[in-house]
Amino acid sequence: MTEGILAAIGRTPLVALRRLVPDAPFRIFAKLEACNPGGSIKDRAALGLLEGARRAGRIRPGTVVVESSSGNMGIGLAQACAVLGLRFVCVVDVRTTAQNIAILRAYGAEIDVVDAADPNGGGFLRARIARVRALVERLPDAFWPDQYGNPDNARAHRRTMHEIATALDGRIDVLFCPTSTCGTIRGCAEYVRARGLATTIVAVDAVGSVIFGPAGADPGAAAPVRLIPGHGAAVRPALFRDDVAAACVHVSDLECVAGCRRLVAREGILAGGSSGAAVTAIERLRDRIADGATVVAILPDRGERYLDTIYCDAWVRRHFGALPACDAEERESSGAARRTPPRARRRPLALRPPERTAAGARAVRGKA
């Protein structure tokens, strides 16, 4: 199956970030998953899901692939299905951007829009999954890859971690991994465990997500509306395991905006919302990362799909009231590095790698 454009999936660049966290006594690298041909890390999972289905005899000429997606997974599957000659129906919801729908249609996908959230909880995600199940029942020879529960999703990301480990000779001290379906983080954790790497995995989740618990919110309050897709979920995925991460950082939408803008201003990397979340997570834990450590952040997708949201000043002001403080800071600094406080206040990031974690992820709240 890996012929033509599908052969270009994976082997994405790992680049050093030298300006993101000025004066940091540790090294930061970014895995640029935007360099996949469909523009995101979901290309890996899409190909892995379809390859697994082919091996199991679940897809053949005439099969209709049906999946729920808010964007990137749908685009990855649409690309692969176009190459393989398969019909693809993508179930989206009313929050899906016009640009993502246009990309899906350009690849030949059929769009089915869910216009109301599940009334019993679980938001649009649960409603989309219900629509997928109904379509699979109705359409002849239909196949649901089930990105939320299919182990082939996680399996595809063992290769992601293999690429990172190979590039750094296995010396990765801390991995920051944005999470939604838990495919990426579980695959990375499985590779770390199998190879006995001394890598601490930090999950990057959204405020309002239920994956690692509703940190940062009153347990009795309604979950905040999340505006930026790419990480977090309203339903805990079946792929979740409580030992995939040693810690979790919950990041708000506004912090994602700030992280994205800081990343492009300091490193020239135009990335999507979950990448901004990873940037925020590193900065929040910077005083707990050991001197000389090697830190890797997975940056899942490209920023062009967020030009009307994250990178649009009018959209940011409309939803948050003002631009994030980092914009003014970047303008005032004119590219000069800001100095960090004295290092005497540092304390080590006392987290355990996943193979030694029994109690699962614990939330890291506020600034360390």
Instruction: Calculate mean pLDDT across residues 149-175.
Output: 98
Residue 2 has pLDDT above 90, yes or no: no
- pTM of the entire structure? 0.89
The tens digit of pLDDT for each residue in 190-201 reads 999 999 999 999
CATH 3.50.50.60 holds for 4-35+158-364? no
Which of 116-125, 186-195, 345-354 has the least mean pLDDT? 345-354
The tens digit of pLDDT for each residue in 303-336 reads 999 999 999 999 999 999 989 976 555 545 544 4
What is the structure's pLDDT at 357?
36
Instruction: Measure the CA dihedral 279/280/281/285, to 10°.
Output: 110
What is the structure's pLDDT at 177?
98
The tens digit of pLDDT for each residue in 268-315 reads 999 999 999 999 999 999 999 999 999 999 999 999 999 999 999 999
What is the structure's pLDDT at 229?
81
Q: How far apart are CA 192 and CA 162, in angstroms?
A: 9
What is the structure's pLDDT at 358?
31
Instruction: Calculate mean pLDDT across residues 176-185.
Output: 97
Percent of the chain exceeding pLDDT 90 equals: 77
Q: How far apart are CA 217 and CA 176, in angstroms?
A: 22
Q: How confident is the model at residue 179 (pLDDT cuts 50, 70, 90)?
A: very high
All structural domains of the chain with their residue ranges: 4-35+158-364, 42-143
What is the structure's pLDDT at 3?
82
* Residues 6 or more apart whose Cβ sits within 8 Å of residue 84: 1, 50
Q: How far apart are CA 126 and CA 111, in angstroms?
A: 17
Instruction: Calculate mean pLDDT across residues 61-72.
Output: 95
CATH architecture of 42-143: 3-Layer(aba) Sandwich (3.40)
What is the structure's pLDDT at 326?
67
Instruction: Tell me, yes or no, if the two domains 4-35+158-364 and 42-143 fold the same way.
Output: yes
Residue 366 has pLDDT above 60, yes or no: no
Find residue 215's DSSP bridge partners: none
The per-residue pLDDT of the chain, averaged, comes to 88
Instruction: Calculate mean pLDDT across residues 47-58.
Output: 97
65 vs 225, higher pLDDT: 65
What is the structure's pLDDT at 347?
54
